[in-house]
Amino acid sequence: MPDKALKGRLALWILLLPALALSQQRDDFLRPFFGYYDSQSLSTAIGNATVAAGQVIPGRSSNPANLGLSRFKEFQLNFQHNKFQGPQTNSANTQLGGVYAVFPVAVYQGSLVFGGGAERIVDFTNAFQTQDRQVSEEGGIYATELGMSVEASKNLFIGAAFNYLKGSDELSTTEPDTNSLLNPKYHGYCFSLGFVNRTTANLQIGGSFQFATSVKVQDNLTTWHAASPEASVSETWNYELDRPMVFHLGFSLLYPIYSLFYEMEWSDWSGLKFSSDEYFAGDANEINREIKHEFRPTLTHHLGGAAHLPWLPLHLYAGYQYMPVPFTGVYASNLRQSLGFGASYLLSQQFSVHSSYSDYFWRYSGKWEDYQMLLFGVSLHF
């Protein structure tokens, strides 16, 4: 049994935990949406500029209408290795990136294509260390998607997709006297609509709307004194986050030897909404007021290119992402960026392998940090 002093500390922690739950930081509310994205090697290789790239980059994308451009059945399997590097510490993680399948259906005219699978869309690998504090984070969110696309009229494809989101995170904090483990669990959904138009033989234009994403969060916080880990205190609270709509628009230029891709992504983060039956109405309103005051709209740019070597069944890819953050004061120029490279090789008419490497980089509180993502995948075409 703990001694009287420890009992006193436990009682104090129990009194403080509700206050801690109400003193969450903006990172808590962005966590389900602000990790490192995608686990499909070809998409990351072109900087996720996929809104009009379905003819070259099959599978899950930011625009479900891309499915309508597929003429063959395909099954993809991707594996993922991630590494975060900070000025004093680093963290690595390896897991299944996801699976995705594309199924065209024979129709009298036009096209009808279904797609579905489960892919890791957010990764939380992170770590940092100060003189008296060490933090490590590991987890992610998977999206289980069901989508379809039809050729509504000649060269105009319309698509829709529904995603069920599920995942968890483990944020471990070690301090001289007190340690803690924050273990949020997430589940939610989102729905998107999009179009792709073959404007000319070489130009495609695409756009999509990802409607408000609703995510329910169950935060589990366990705290214990470093000298008495058996005397831990736990608290759980629940809330819901509604991310505002995301708009994607872009184009692709397609030529026999090379292709170019561009996508812009806009969202007004000040419209992020917090709600909970476990919080007083005044506290919830105050949180939403702070979100509206601190967050801002962002316009992300995705650029990509592909080279198709006519004398080899080899394709090369490269991409760049310009990613403003939705708040100011921590990231240099309020910005993250990434560079990506990749390749795919057709081993036979039915089997190909593909891989990509992406490096996200930024300056956080004046110090360089980066996140590296290595993906390897295989595809069956039939």
pLDDT the model gives residue 27: 66
CA distance 296 to 80: 31
The DSSP code for 12 is H
C-alpha dist (Å) from residue 61 to 2, 41, 145, 227: 54, 12, 11, 49
264 vs 174: which has the higher pLDDT: 264
* Inter-residue contact 115 to 59 (CB < 8 Å): yes
Is pLDDT above 60 for 99?
yes
Q: What is the mean pLDDT of residues 316-330?
A: 94
pTM: 0.89
Confidence tier at 188 by pLDDT (50, 70, 90): very high
What's the whole-number mean pLDDT along residues 195-208? 96
pLDDT value at 4 more than 60: no
Q: Are 91 and 102 in contact (CB under 8 A)?
A: no
Percentage above 70 pLDDT, the chain: 92
Look at residue 372 and tell me whether its pLDDT is greater than 60. yes
What is the overall mean pLDDT for the chain?
A: 88
Band of the pLDDT at 176, cuts 50, 70, 90?
Answer: confident
| Superfamily name with CATH number, domain 24-381 | Outer membrane protein transport protein (OMPP1/FadL/TodX) (2.40.160.60)
- DSSP letters, 133-201, are -EEEEEEEEEEEEEEEEEEEETTEEEEEEEEEEEEEEEEEEE-SSEEEEE--EEEEEEEEEEEEEE-SS
Q: Which two tokens stand for residue 211?
A: 């409607």
Reply yes or no on whether the pLDDT at 20 is more than 50. no
Give the pLDDT band (50/70/90) at residue 304.
Answer: very high
